[in-house]
Amino acid sequence: MTELEKARAEIDLCDREMAALFVRRMAAVEHIADYKTAAGLPVLDAAREAEVIRRNCDALGDSPYTEEYRALLTAMMAISRGYQSRRIKDLYVDLGARGYEVAVEPGGLRRAGAHFDLGRKCLLVTDSGVPEIYARTVAAACGEPTLVCLPMGEETKNIRSLEKLLGILVERGFTRTDCVVAVGGGVVGDLAGFAAATYLRGIDFYNIPTTLLSEVDSSVGGKTGIDFGGAKNQVGAFWQPRGVLIDPETLSTLDNRQFACGMAEVIKMAATFDADLFAFCERATPADAAEIIRRAVRIKRDVVMRDEREGGLRRVLNFGHTVGHAVESLAGGRLLHGECVAIGMLPMTSPEVRPRLRALLERWRLPVACPFAPEALLPLILHDKKMSGNEIHYVYVGRIGSYEIRRATPEAFCRCLREGNQP
């Protein structure tokens, strides 16, 4: 037997022993899942995971394989969480080693330390529109918090803000073992996530959304970025969070207009994927927020797991956004993102769907009339990421709960906009 054959035989023996240990380990994971179900506990116990990894790596002593073992343990933890979540049927985004839990827990803000591994340097990013107590509550769970409060509004999501966050990370000596935490709406999450994605080629990122819009949509899926050149989200990266914590109680400080904006994203998902959710929204009230969030996040999770990087199915979640982003750019802050999405949905529907969609949008006090002519919107749409060659790709709803991906020339798309804005 050659030296190569001997080494391979040794690996085969180790693999057989590991297989038996893996079965034993997963049986224990199954018991833990059942216990968590009975006790109402979340899947992720970040502090426990961090301690297990640390303890086991320390046991190797000065081994040259410590980092490889750490990677193995981290992957094993992700596998265990995924299995537990499937057994519990919780909101786990199963992306293998990049998987993470979306926890929807009233009062969960006060338990951020139980959900996330925060016992290290943490850059907490929030904005002036978020109650200070939210970020302060999370900071109390951090080992070494640095709190940054940015001005509120879409105009903050720019390269200057990104430079500010990266500068603080450098100044405070953040390493690859530290993390960034977003506490706020979609602007904060996109910006903080992009900073985490780019600093040292990527560090851990946690998202704690505090608006309905960010809770049901932008916080899940790993799309981060900034606005550039007068267009939304032109520069960015896919960078999955390590975890998402949604506390419906944060919505108590949200005004009616912001809540309605979140409903626009819910309606978007219902119109394309879930006719039952659409019907639920037709009779629901803000008191049903927790149920709305869970059902919307479940749709978003399922889409992301099937199409993480927007290669196909995930593009359906852009329903209303092809026009909406152009409206938002021209509005210059006078309209909020969800309002622009609402405006953008109506032209992209059949004559049969349009009256029902219009009625639902109006029920939630969302705008339905576009304030700009199609000719004014077209130049921005032509620079959108959803362009392909000389054709505009867009999502069309011909029947509630279903969708089509359509293509149109700029001229045909303009006609569609005119027709869709008719009462």
User: Structural domain boundaries of the chain?
Assistant: 3-90, 102-253, 256-420
- The token pair at 119 is 């016992």
pLDDT at 421 (0 to 100): 65
The pTM of the full predicted model, rounded to 2 decimals, is 0.77
More confident residue, 37 or 411: 411
Q: Is the dihedral of CA 84, 213, 105, 123 positive or negative?
A: positive
Q: What is the pLDDT of residues 250-261, one digit of tens each?
A: 999 999 999 999
Sorted by sequence, the CB contacts under 8 Å of residue 342 that are 6+ apart come out as 264, 267, 320, 324, 361, 366, 367, 368
pLDDT tens digit sequence for 198-211: 999 999 999 999 99
Q: Read off the pLDDT of each residue in 177-188 and give the average, rounded to a whole number.
A: 97
Q: What are the Cα distances from residue 149, in Å, to 152, 164, 165?
A: 9, 11, 10
Classify residue 413 by burial, with Cβ atoms within 10 Å: 0-12, 13-18, 19+. Answer: buried
CATH number for the segment(s) 3-90: 1.20.59.10
Architecture of domain 256-420: Up-down Bundle (1.20)
- pLDDT at residue 297, rounded to an integer: 95
Residues 164, 146: Cα–Cα separation, whole Å: 13
Lowest pLDDT segment from 222-231, 381-390, 412-421? 381-390
- pLDDT on residue 89: 56
At residue 23, does pLDDT exceed 70?
A: yes
Give me the active site residues, please: 201, 223, 265, 300, 310, 314, 318, 321, 325, 337
The secondary element (H helix, E strand) that includes residue 407 is strand 404-408
Residue 416's pLDDT band (boundaries 50, 70, 90)? confident
Q: Per-residue pLDDT averaged across 266-292, rounded?
A: 96
Please tell me the predicted confidence (pLDDT) of residue 332.
86
Of 39-53, 135-149, 165-179, 357-371, minimum mean pLDDT range: 39-53
Residue 400's nearest CA partner among 339, 359, 370 is: 359
Residues with Cβ within 8 Å of 38's Cβ and at least 6 positions away in sequence, in order, are none
Most confident range, picked from 151-155, 357-361, 384-388: 357-361
pLDDT class of 245 with cuts at 50, 70, 90: very high
Q: Residue 230 above 60 pLDDT?
A: yes
Predicted pLDDT at 388 = 57
pLDDT band at 136 (very low <50, low <70, confident <90, very high): very high
Does the domain formed by 102-253 have CATH 3.40.50.1970?
yes
